[in-house]
Structure 1
Amino acid sequence: MAWQDFRKRIKRQVSDFLEIPSDVMLDLPKIVLVGDLQVFIENHRGIVEYTSEVVRVIVGEGEICINGKNLTIRNIMADEIIVEGKIMNINLNN
């Protein structure tokens, strides 16, 4: 078993034991889609690409790619991004 897999397993067990949300303990993104109009992404590490048709955001072990039309970043904070527009596709690439 690889060291990273072992660390993830231990963190997950500690998270379950202490009843801490997994997204916090494991540095996972939390993605909330509101219809096809908004995407909330928590626990991000920055923006890679931003156009009216594509928004790519770095997360823990990869990136999230949002495709759509008339995309805008409504809000960006240290740990949260809100993207609005006509959301057509969301991909998580590890």
Structure 2
Amino acid sequence: MKTKSYKIKEKISDALELPKDITLDIPKVTILGKDSITVENHKGIISYNDNQIRINTTCGILTILGEGLTIKSIIQEEIIIIGKISNIGY
């Protein structure tokens, strides 16, 4: 359920044609082939092993499944994951 504040921000973002991932603090997920994924605007790692990585976001828990998953880079704004990715879901 969207809050009144969220709806106002969404309308402003649409009117000014601003990227929603920035103005609404929603995650931006970029997938490069089957071996790399970047998650921006995350809220931290929930769990991590070489077959599953769970990331907290404002939209819910993002789960990445695969083989040989490794966190290549993690900073406050972005996480880069490499490995053989087989599934991504909320």
- TM-score, length-scaled by structure 2: 0.93
Which amino acid in structure 2 is aligned with residue 68 of structure 1? G
Mapped to 2, the partners of 1:43 and 1:62 lie a distance apart of 12
Q: Which runs of 5+ in 2 are unaligned?
A: none
Q: Could you say what the CA RMSD is over the residues aligned between the two structures, in angstroms?
A: 1.3
Which amino acid in structure 2 is aligned with residue 31 of structure 1? V
TM-superposed deviation, 1:20: 1.9
TM-superposed deviation, 1:3: 6.8
Mapped to 2, the partners of 1:18 and 1:64 lie a distance apart of 29
**C-alpha contact 2:36 2:83 (8 A) present in aligned 1:** yes
Matched, 1:67 2:37: no
Match of 2:82 in 1: 84
SS in 2 for 1:44: coil
- TM-score, length-scaled by structure 1: 0.89
Aligned residues: 90
Match of 2:43 in 1: 45
Match of 2:15 in 1: 17
Taking only the aligned residue pairs, the percentage that are identical comes to 39
